Amino acid sequence: MEAIESEINARRQVSSYARQAIEIATQNEFERQKLEIQKQSLVEQLRVLEASGKAHTEEAQHLREQIKMVEVEILEKADAMRFVADRITEGMYAITAGLVEGNVEAMKEGYKKALTMIVAYLQKVVTTTITTIVLNQLGLASTGMGITSLLLVPVIKAVVTAGVNAIMSPIYASLSKFASGGRVDKETLAVVGFQSLFWWMFH
């Protein structure tokens, strides 16, 4: 019974970390889309100035500088590796603290949190990217779509999400199965590293 409760708690914890990462990814994508709209507005304003012969005015130059600043922000929002690096850093702090304190559980928790958030964030990024590619290929990403196209979009998103989730599920399952600890005081046979997953062993 205790083992079952421990497994349930571990899965809840992994789910909690995953939700945090997905919320961050969703907010990040929302902010990126807002920046894209802002950039489009600035570009349109610049085109109006250029069309009216004011391409070399101070106002036009100011718009160009604003566009560059927005483009930098867009690139930062699209940089998934920055998020991954931040989560690894957080995990390493927890691992180091656990090592200094001799707390193996804290070390494992650092690994679990970092890896789960990375997987969940990349899952969200991959899902969004694949969905965008499919919609673009089918010509469904533009505005002014007919009723049939509008009905197809959520179906396609659901199919892509289900496919990515199916691939990621075994990874989430493995992240909830960090051993609770134990001691080996004699020669013992063991099988580690199955299912092509990463494993850590402390000696």
**8 A C-beta contact, residue 67 and residue 35:** no
- Using the predicted structure, report yes or no on whether residue 151 has a pLDDT greater than 80: no
Separation CA 156–CA 139 (nearest Å): 13
DSSP state of 138: T
The residue among 188 and 68 whose pLDDT is bigger is 68
Query: How much is the pLDDT for 81?
Result: 64
The predicted model gives 138-165 an average pLDDT of 72
pLDDT tens-place string over residues 60-93? 999 999 999 999 888 877 776 677 677 767 777 7
Mean pLDDT estimate for the chain: 76
Going from the C-alpha of 98 to that of each of 94, 103, 177, the distances in angstroms are: 6, 5, 19
Q: What pLDDT is attached to residue 191?
A: 58
Q: What is the 3-state secondary structure (H, E, C) of 78-120?
A: CCHHHHHHHHHHHHHHHHHHHHHHCCHHHHHHHHHHHHHHHHH
Average pLDDT over residues 115-121: 79
Q: What angle do CA 39, 41, 45 make, to 5 degrees?
A: 115
Nearest 5°: the CA angle 11, 17, 23 is: 130
